Amino acid sequence: MIKYEDCVFTLQAGKLCYQMMIDKHSKLLHLHTGSEVKESTSHLLSFADRGFSANIEEEGRERTYSYDFLPCEVSERGLGDFRSSSILIEAEDGSITTDFRFESYSIKKGVIDIHPLPMAYGEDAETLEIKLKDEKLDCFLILYYCLIDNAIITARKLIAGSPLSVRKLSSLSLDFMYQDYEIMSFNGRHCYERQPLIQEVRENRITISSRRGTSSHQANPFIILAEKGTDEVHGNCFGVHLLWSGSFQIEAERNQFSSTRLIASAEDEFFTFELKKGETLTMPAALLTFSEQGYTSLSNDIAAFTRKHILRLPKEYRNYVLLNSWEACYMDFNGEKLIKLAKDAAELDTDLFVLDDGWFLGRNDDYTSLGDWQEDESKLGMSLSELSEKIRKTGMAFGLWVEPEMVNEESNLYKQHPDWALKTPGRKLVRSRYQLVLDLSRTEVAEYILETLKKLFRGKNLSYVKWDYNRSITDFYSATASRENQQSVGYRYMQNLYWILYELRKEFPSILFEGCSGGGGRFDMGMLCYTPQIWLSDNTDAIDRLDIQFGSSYGYPIAAFGSHVSTCPNHQNGRITPLYTRSTVAFMGSYGLEFTPATLTESEKAELKSEIAEYRKQAELIKKGNLYRLRKDENIAAWLIVSNDSKEALLSAVKLSTHGNDLDYCIRLRGLEKDVIYEVAGQHFHGSTLMNAGLKLHFENKEYSAFRLAIKALQ
């Protein structure tokens, strides 16, 4: 619901309320974000004559009105607001002051149209558009607020009436007048993504950012801003996601009067976008979510929202259980070996075979061939179409790995178009995994990639594509961009990437696209709009995965996690864990296998087959239920998935430390109905007993053992 009354906009999206007012100078002030309020909260604004605070000329001799402390919907530089700005523009005369004032507003049905930038979908969406104008610059700033269910999606667009250099245009900017806040960010590294870090928001600005041209393993464009003291079940907290997969920055700071500011922006501090008269720039959307009851309810709301309004599942979607060839054979295979792998996997009742890296022209190691997306018939011993047919005969659907944004110097593509790679003229190449990044900011390169992939995908009977991306962008320099457009190469790159993905999905609506960037280096809401599943991490060790899965679950639905059982000792860290444990951990996502079934003993095969059957039984609950992170410390990781009607649940736990004469562990469940009787391993308990007293976890006396229990309501 969007209401406008006495110069105050009140947006109520489910339990999330957002309020702004147009003040006496036509400036837009931010009044409130949080639980419902029924009237204007402008009584909370404070006006005071404060030392060193600046006052605009219209105020005459009055010294109590200053942007040094007023909560601004658009925070600008040059008018007395010394905090981080959400917009930075250099005018033709070199000045950087902006002064955007209210012009008009409109309310429309539907979502914001910012194609091909990622956007949510939803039939009942309504969007408020507020138009602001900077008189001197003759420039309009459009603020969009799209209400869908219990979330608000914001985006911003500039329309230039004179030439401008845009240095920053944030997607979301929030000022909180009171309360103390903490910010949770999700940092990591390759093979160890999204580890939560909580920092108090104080006077020194916190910046969470990626400058890698991707959202990255090291940071994530999702944060939780929470009132101090918030935990899994208590406290007001806000989720902010950028629907963006490139560089980004999220800034949080407190000012001298204890107000907190949060700004989320696509691109980093090196961004500049030149606009000529009449041109526009739209920055990506940001998703704002809210909970009054701590992190668990926030995460579950985000997960439900993502499933309903972000993920576009392919036509005839199936809950595939896949086998991926990567850890089974890396690049060492031929057609016969792959068919044998598929047959063995089919016997375990998997139903999708994914041919990973190594299938195209001369690709026997990672030094060559990226860019040449034609099958290597001499290696495969057959064409890709024949292989696909043969795999299908084993009863499996067929999927293929590609890494289309990259090129190796040793490739036909690079030989023909050396200038298609991003590189700085007059400097030596900067390689990573011995590859270069194609300049997708160029239309002809983007079009070439799209056409090449269309040709490749046609006639192969593909059910699945894994879209990989295995390096960061170092030198953002395009051979054809003008000097002034070099600093927007990263932005244009992303726009074209989304366009390619959109066009491919349109032509191949039945293909399930799984995103990947060395595992989870581009795990974000932007990619999830185009690839509803993402390989969570290159680390397949069950114990490390627990950290990665728990961390990722704060901001993303587990339905989107590519999650595989791999071999032991684990290829990334050498750890040995029981098969049941590996499988239990892989249950927290979209299940698959990543090894050679022939290496299993008969009893392991039987165990895995029954695990796959069990996963299929539980897949609906796992992918659509609510997740409760029950416990995670040096001894135990325990989690519970409960169906939306609370009638079914799956409790899982892994023992992380082993001792002689070990302790018993009891865990209290959550999310059940207190008066409903549940059946648990043949015994009956009220939900209240399970939630208030708990259940004992019966672990086998063995290192890293796991425990899993299905729970069902009797009525």
The footprint of ligand GLA on residues 146-175 (CB under 6 A) is: none
Q: Does 516 bind ligand GLA (CB under 6 A)?
A: yes
Amino acid at 602: E
Stretch near ligand GLA under the rule CB under 6 A, chosen from 191-199, 289-297, 304-312, 512-520: 512-520
235-251 b/e with 16+ CB inside 10 Å = b? bbbbbbbbbbbbbbbbb
Q: Does 519 bind ligand GLA (CB under 6 A)?
A: yes
Amino acid at 168: K
Stretch near ligand GLA under the rule CB under 6 A, chosen from 101-109, 220-228, 404-412, 511-519: 511-519
Give the torsion sign (CA, 103, 106, 110, 113). Answer: negative
Q: Does 259 bind ligand GLA (CB under 6 A)?
A: no
Quick one: which H or E segment has residue 104?
strand 101-109
Question: How many alpha carbons lie under 13 Å from residue 290 in its C-beta half-sphere?
Answer: 23
Least distance to ligand GLA, CB of residue 403, Å: 7
C-alpha pair distances (Å), 514 with each of 262, 365, 436, 536, 613: 32, 23, 22, 10, 23
Dihedral of the alpha carbons of 421, 424, 430, 435, in degrees to the nearest 10: 0
Stretch near ligand GLA under the rule CB under 6 A, chosen from 43-51, 247-255, 289-297, 516-524: 516-524
Least distance to ligand GLA, CB of residue 334, Å: 18
The footprint of ligand GLA on residues 328-357 (CB under 6 A) is: 356-357
* Catalytic one of 604, 662, 679, 700: 604
Q: Among residues 566, 514, 518, which one has the least CA distance to residue 400?
A: 514
Distance of alpha carbon 583 from the chain centroid: 24
Least distance to ligand GLA, CB of residue 544, Å: 15
Stretch near ligand GLA under the rule CB under 6 A, chosen from 51-59, 249-257, 308-316, 514-522: 514-522
The footprint of ligand GLA on residues 384-403 (CB under 6 A) is: 401
Contact 271/168 with Cβ under 8 angstroms?
yes
Nearer to ligand GLA, 153 or 512 (CB): 512
Report the alpha-carbon distance of residue 213 to residue 596 in Å, rounded: 35
Nearer to ligand GLA, 466 or 492 (CB): 466
Q: Among residues 444, 439, 443, which one has the least CA distance to residue 419?
A: 439
Torsion angles phi and psi, residue 571, rounded to 5 = -70, -20
Q: Does 360 bind ligand GLA (CB under 6 A)?
A: no
C-alpha pair distances (Å), 360 with each of 198, 401, 497, 678: 44, 10, 22, 53
- State the CB neighbour count (10 A cutoff) for residue 572: 19
* Catalytic one of 81, 149, 357, 524: 524
Report the alpha-carbon distance of residue 212 to residue 248 in Å, rounded: 9
**Contact with ligand GLA (CB under 6 A): which of 326, 398, 499, 513?**
326
Is 633 designated active site? no
Nearer to ligand GLA, 45 or 331 (CB): 331
**Contact with ligand GLA (CB under 6 A): which of 244, 535, 561, 595?**
535
Is 193 designated active site? no
Find all residues with CB under 8 Å of 412, minimum gap 6, and list them. Answer: 361, 371, 372
Quick one: which H or E segment has residue 275?
strand 273-275
Nearer to ligand GLA, 131 or 571 (CB): 571
The footprint of ligand GLA on residues 429-488 (CB under 6 A) is: 468, 470
Least distance to ligand GLA, CB of residue 506, Å: 25
Least distance to ligand GLA, CB of residue 516, Å: 5
The footprint of ligand GLA on residues 536-555 (CB under 6 A) is: 538
Site string for ligand GLA, 400-439 (x = CB under 6 A): -x--------------------------------------
Peptide linkage before 418 cis (omega within 30 of 0): no
Least distance to ligand GLA, CB of residue 402, Å: 10
Stretch near ligand GLA under the rule CB under 6 A, chosen from 43-51, 197-205, 237-245, 513-521: 513-521
- Catalytic residues, by residue number, are 524, 604
Residues that bind ligand GLA (CB under 6 A): 326, 356-357, 401, 468, 470, 516, 518-519, 535, 538
